Amino acid sequence: MKIWAFLITLSFLGHVTSQGTNDNQTEAEEFLESFNSAAGKQQNILSQKQWNLDTNITDFNEEQLVKQQSIAAQFDKDMRAEALQFNSSAMSADVQRQLGKITDIGTSAQPNATKVEELATVLAEMQSIYGKAKVCLTPDICLPLEPDITRFLAQSRDYDTLETLWVGWRNETGRKMKDLYTKFVQLSNEAVQYLGYQDTGEEWRSAYESDTFVADVQDLFDQLRPLYEQLHAYVRRRLRQVYGESRFPASGHIPAHLLGNMWAQEWGNVVELVKPFANKTSMDVTPEMVRQKYTVDKIFRTAEDFFVSLGFDKMVPSFWTLSMLEKPNDGREVVCHASAWDFYNQKDFRIKMCTDITQDDLMTVHHEMGHVAYFMQYKNQPVIYRDGANPGNHCMHID
């Protein structure tokens, strides 16, 4: 969960150093101290409003969030203006870096307040569409992504139902978001141009602080490609044996709904269909978790034990009382998509997740708690540093 998107969008020092004239490092440090305290409070309120919406999707909570995001964008702009008064070129690397990050405010750079609000609204609306989406198999049976559709995709081998769910999910989410997403791209690109970026893609890539980033990623992909192609061909052959050749297009693609995951991004759920050695023991521990009567709490305690065994801290007591670890059954609409939360007050850390008793979710809990373990490790750092070294670290993929 990239809650930070409105406050820092990471550094691109080339755009920002040496613009002002104040070269007094003591004054810069005083500014950073007051920034820290104000930014922590600002980010805490913003996280609260985002949490309220994500755990209870209502128009009121959406309005509250959008309002707060406008305030936060103004705060970012004010702080940027103050940071730009310094000429940091002879200051310490640490001060230079903090000032650089404070000026790199992402879409908050949009000077038109109406457009700032439009962007926040577009994002909240897309999230709400996603959170509320259900696919109807019959007029009476309408399923949410979590847990029902996810479990179905993992376990069912019925081609037509899998296809209905896959297509239905796109129909209820992507199709409804298409215009909003186009608007998001336009508004976001326009906003970051005020910082000197060509577009949001350039701004996102700048976070990696590498001039050869695109070429490096391409190079890694090229190295992996031969293995990937063989794996793809192998899995396709096995799945053709299961579902029949007529189900597979001549183009060589694997229909995405056959891979056990809504985004076809992890194929572990079809391992029983494709594994080469039929008599090898299963790699899927879901049945064993059910047999051992795993509860949601037990999954999270298992993850906590794992991180403690690596030397990380235990979850704080409020983690267990304030997190949303299961889908509420009081009629509230929530964003089930799992996420980890830092409330930027050094004591409030949470996970929001609609946990199911499956191997997938056992792994997702470890993934999310990994974020929290890091949040807790760097809670005493300046606010601007309380994030991964780059977006590849707190990698926010859908899982």
Ligand X SMILES: *[C@@H]1O[C@H](CO)[C@@H](O)[C@H](O)[C@H]1NC(C)=O
Sites of contact with ligand X (CB under 6 A): 18, 21, 23-24, 26-27, 56, 58, 60-61, 87, 89-90, 112, 114-115, 167-168, 171, 279, 332
Q: Is 253 annotated as a binding residue?
A: no
Catalytic, out of 146, 172, 304, 368: 368
Please answer whether residues 57 and 132 qualify as being in contact, where contact means their C-beta atoms are separated by less than 8 angstroms. yes
> Residue 117 or residue 266: which is nearer to ligand X going by CB?
117
The helix/strand count (H/E) of the chain reads as 14, 4
Task: Give the DSSP H/E element, type plus range, for residue 136.
Answer: strand 134-136
Q: Reduced to 3 states, what is the DSSP secondary structure of residue 320?
A: helix
What are the structure tokens assigned to 234, written together? Answer: 């192998």
Residue 186 neighbours by CB under 8 Å, 6+ apart: none
Rounded to 5°, the CA angle 278-279-285 comes to: 90
**CB nearer ligand X, residue 24 or residue 292:** 24
Least Å from the CB of residue 90 to ligand X:
4
CB of 342 vs ligand X, minimal distance in Å? 21
Residue 86 makes CB contacts below 8 A (sequence gap 6+) with: 20, 22, 23, 27, 28, 31, 99
Task: Judge whether 15 is annotated as a binding position.
Answer: no
Which residues on adjacent β-strands are paired with residue 350?
Answer: 341
* Nearest distance, CB of residue 21 and ligand X, angstroms: 5
Q: How far apart are CA 119 and CA 257, in angstroms?
A: 32
Q: Which of 107, 103, 116 is CA-nearest to residue 70?
A: 116
CB of 55 to ligand X, least distance (A): 7
Of 144 and 168, the one with the shorter C-beta distance to ligand X is 168
**Minimum Å distance from CB 168 to ligand X?**
4
Is residue 264 packed enough to be buried (19+ CB in 10 Å), middle (13-18) or exposed (0-12)?
A: middle
Distance CA 155, CA 380 (A): 44
In the complex, the smallest distance separating the C-beta of residue 284 from ligand X, rounded to whole angstroms, is: 18
Say how far apart CA 120 and CA 265 lie, in whole Å.
28
208 annotated binding-site participant: yes
Show Cβ contacts of residue 334 under 8 Å, excluding neighbours closer than 6 positions: 54, 55, 56, 57, 131, 324, 327, 328, 352, 354
For the question of residue 368 being annotated catalytic, the response is yes
CA distance 17 to 33: 19
Nearest distance from C-beta of residue 220 to ligand X, angstroms:
37
* CB-nearer residue toward ligand X: 90 or 93: 90
**Within 10 A of 269 (CB to CB), how many other CB atoms are there?**
20
Under 8 Å CB-to-CB from 279, ≥6 apart: which residues?
A: none
Q: How far apart are CA 156 and CA 269, in angstroms?
A: 10
Cα 139 to its chain centre, rounded Å, is 33
Give the catalytic positions in this structure. 368
User: Which parts are annotated binding residues for Zn(2+)?
Assistant: 367, 371
User: Which parts are annotated binding residues for chloride?
Assistant: 208
User: Which parts are annotated binding residues?
Assistant: 208, 367, 371
